[in-house]
Structure 1
Amino acid sequence: MKKTEKLNYNSTMKFANTKLTNNQTNQTKRMTDKAFGLLVKVCLKTGIRASDLLNLNYDQFTENRTAPNTFTLEYFITKTNSKNVVPVGADLMRSIQVYKMECLEAYGTVNGKIFYNYNTNKLYTRVWASQRIAKANKNGMLGQVVNVAGMHSVRRTAVVEVFEQNQDLRVAQAFLGHKNILTTSNYLQDNKTTMQDKLRLALCE
């Protein structure tokens, strides 16, 4: 099985926001698109593995009282039987709250699980999400088309964005909730700035 590849962060975020603002008249399609858009946006902003992301509850997001206008998400990592905590900005929190209100308006109720499919009374699945990512990639909606795309591509895209901002592997490790920093290193194999690169930037420019 071929490894999923990272996507263009800005294009993927724009795609997610477009889905979130979809106002077509067909309620089922409209709300399904919004759920998918929110799923992609949360993944880009938190780096959570799809299987854990799909199990998130609204009440796992709490206000950070020591840092105004920011929030905290604590979630369980099934793969390693551990917990992780990531900060969440106001923009993402606003998207979650708006989606919650739209669910209430559309269905007359709100399930505690964010990614609950009100049409099937089940949670959305990783296969459902990955198929949609693959289709969007194939149609060139996520930036340059890559060979293999799925929900794991969004997770890779998220951590690359974090790493490129500070070049700190331990920050990337904390973001993904990895126990072993070598696992994080493997995610960023093609994006790490080597010591020679750093020297070149310092001495040759």
Structure 2
Amino acid sequence: MNNKIGDFKLYLSHELGLADNTVMAYLNDINHFYDFFNNKNMQVKSTDIVNYMNKLKSDGYSIETILRRLSGLSAYFDFLIKERLIDKNPISFISKPKGWDKLPKFLNFDEVDKILSIFNTNDPLEYRNKILIEFLYSTGCRVSEILNIKVSDVDSKRGFVRVVGKGNKQRIVPLYNKLVEILPSYYNIRHTYFVKGRDTGYLFLSRNGNKLSRVMCFNILRDACERAGIRKKVSPHTIRHSFATHLLTNGADLRTIQILLGHSNISTTEIYTHITDNKTREILTQFHPRFRNRGKS
């Protein structure tokens, strides 16, 4: 099987058209699994998968991480079936562990406002960081999508940005008016303080003029949360979850949210309906006469 990992990489890149980061994540998952058994030529059984899961759990890995690793492995086994090297996917016989379908974490409206209000907009770096988080929250895009946006992708006149998502699929995402209004001043700061030599065209640049990295984006958000007094563990994906949750809470339909997030399957988007169940119940309890009169004779 060892020599098939390279073929799988080509399959992901060229046939499925997945992004480099996604391909590397799949390969890391596969290598992590085989390194655990120290045998890349083994015939994998379902019991091996269970032993691997138990080891990950005992090592303190979260359910989300275990799910991600098994997802990469499952895709590899499906590829081996396609290549007629195995007959069955051993992961298909594994039951999901308790708590597998955990709900995504998100920020409430006030917490987002706190983060966006702590930046000193007189400082170029701070101004860039504010615009970065404004874009994350305005669009609900994945961090990789945000960092690959170029200035030419933004249509300020019509108020939208063109985004290239998974599988090189393009979508148009609207920007809210407040963000569109401050973009000209950001462009000036970007040109004056961040463009070094030849302009690479990316919307978000490092102080050296290079495309801003994922690690830097994570650090910017973490620092902003600390300064805003938010103790939750927050990542750019948390902002994406917040975007979807806030839209649904305010009455947006699920199909529209699916399009904005770039989900290929609406079942992926449906998880947000569970997040808003408590909010819906609060409203029902507050305003429905039968709920309000509960317990009264």
Deviates further, 193-202 or 90-99: 193-202
Larger relative helix fraction: 2
Distance 1:102 1:195 in 2: 43
Match among 120, 124, 127 for residue 208 of structure 2: 120
Q: Is the 8 A contact 1:16 1:36 kept in 2?
A: no
Equivalence for 1:57? 150
Name the CA distance, whole Å, in 2 between partners of 1:14 and 1:196: 26
Determine if contact 2:155/2:161 at 8 Å carries over to the other structure.
Answer: yes
TM-score (norm 2): 0.54
Separation in structure 2 between the aligned mates of residue 125 and residue 108 of structure 1, nearest angstrom: 15
Alignment pair present for 1:185 and 2:270: yes
Do structure 1's residue 22 and structure 2's residue 110 form an aligned pair?
A: no
CA contact (8 A) 1:62 1:72 kept: yes
Letter in 1 for 2:106: K
> Aligned to 1:123, what secondary structure does the other structure show?
coil
The farther-off stretch of 194-203 and 102-111 is 194-203
Aligned CA RMSD, in angstroms, stands at: 2.9
Correspondent of 1:162 among 247, 261, 269: 247
Q: Which has the higher contact order (CA 8 A, sep 6+)?
A: 1
User: What is the TM-score with the length of structure 1 in the denominator?
Assistant: 0.76
Shifted more, 102-111 versus 92-101: the winner is: 102-111
Q: Following the alignment from structure 2 to structure 1, what is the Cα–Cα distance between the partners of residues 195 and 168?
A: 35
Which of 121, 125, 141 is residue 228 of structure 2 equivalent to? 141
Q: Equivalent residues in 2 for 1:29-108 (5 A)?
A: 30-62=123-155, 70-77=158-165, 79-106=166-193
Higher mean C-alpha displacement, 125-134 vs 182-191: 182-191
**Count of residues in Structure 1 that have an aligned counterpart in Structure 2:** 188
Q: Indicate the percent of aligned positions where both proteins have the same amino acid.
A: 20
Deviations 1:31-73 (A, max 9, x none): 2222211110011111111101011112212256xxxxx5122
Query: Which whole-Å CA distance do the structure 2 matches of 1:111 and 1:43 have between them?
Result: 21
Does residue 1:175 correspond to 2:263, yes or no? no
Q: Normalized per residue, which structure has more strand?
A: 1
Does structure 1 retain, via aligned residues, the 8 Å contact 2:163–2:171? yes
- Provide structure 2 residue ranges, at least 5 long, that are not aligned to the other structure: 1-60, 65-103, 293-297
The change in CA–CA distance for 1:141 and 1:108 in structure 2 (over 3 A counts) is closer
Is 1:5 the equivalent of 2:105? yes
> Residue in 2 aligned with 1:150?
235
Q: Which amino acid aligns with 1:99?
A: Y
